[in-house]
Amino acid sequence: MKINPKFFIGLGLLLIVGYFLQDLVLSDSQYIIGVKKKRQEKDDSFRRVSGSPLSQAQRDTFKALPYYEPDRAYRLDAQYQGLTKRDTARMATTGAQPETYLRWGQATFILNKQEYKLTLYRRAFGPDTTLFIPFADRTNGLVTYGGGRYLDAAVPAPDDTEITLDFNHAYNPYCAYNNSFVCPLPPTENRLNVEIPAGEKAFHE
C-alpha cells in the first residue's frame, strides 16, 4: 500500500499545532492557578491580627475577598516611557492631607481597540521597590470600590520600552475595608473611560 507523502505532511502539521495549543492551554492554566494562589494568600493574611486592615469584628465573619475570575486578556503589555524629569505630585487622599509621589513614567496600552494611558508613580520618601498605579475605571461604584483601585508593577530598567500591567492583580486601598485608613485617590490623569472587569471587586461586610 502506497501512502501519499502529503498524509505525513498533514499529520506533522497537526502534531505541531496540537503541541502549541497544549502549551497555550497549560500556560493559561498555570497563570490562573498562580493568580488564585496569590488571592488565597491575601485572604489568609486578612484573617490574621497583625497587618490586616480588618477590625476584629470584621475578621470574625470574614470568608474571602470578592474578585472577578482571572482573565489573561487583562494582562497587558504596555508601551513604557520613563520620565527624564521626575517631578513631585501631591496626590489627594481620603483624609485632609495629600501624599507626595514622584511621577516616574507613563504606560500606553490598547484595550478594546482603544488607546489608554496611565501615569506611573513611586513614593517620594521611603523605600519603594515597585511602581504605584492608582486608577479609576467605569466599574467603580457599581462592581468595584467607588474610590478606585491600585495596581503595582515592576520598575523597568532604564532602557526598557515595555511594561506589563496585570489588572487581574488590581486591588482595593485599605480604606475600602475600614474608614480609619487614609488612602491616595487616583488622579484625574489616571481616570479611564472604560470598564476593566478584572481584579478585586467592592468589599461587602
Q: Spell out, as residue ranges, where the chain has pLDDT lower than 50.
A: 7-26
Please give the pLDDT value at position 2. 53
What does the pLDDT look like over 117-167, one tens digit per residue? 999 999 888 778 899 999 999 999 999 999 999 999 999 998 999 999 999
Please give the pLDDT value at position 15. 43
Percent of the residues in the chain that have a pLDDT greater than 70, as a whole number: 87
Please give the pLDDT value at position 126. 76
Please give the pLDDT value at position 125. 83
Please spell the DSSP secondary structure of the chain, one letter per residue. Answer: -PPPHHHHHHHHHHHHHHHHHHHHHHHHHHHHHHHHHHHHHHHHHHHSSTT-SS-HHHHHH-----BPPP-GGGEEEEEEEE-SS--EEEE-BSSSS-EEEEEEEEEEEEETTEEEEEEEEEESSS---EEEEEEB-TTBTTTB-TT-EEEEEEPPPTT--EEEEEGGG-B--GGGT-TTS--BPPPGGGB-SS----SB-----
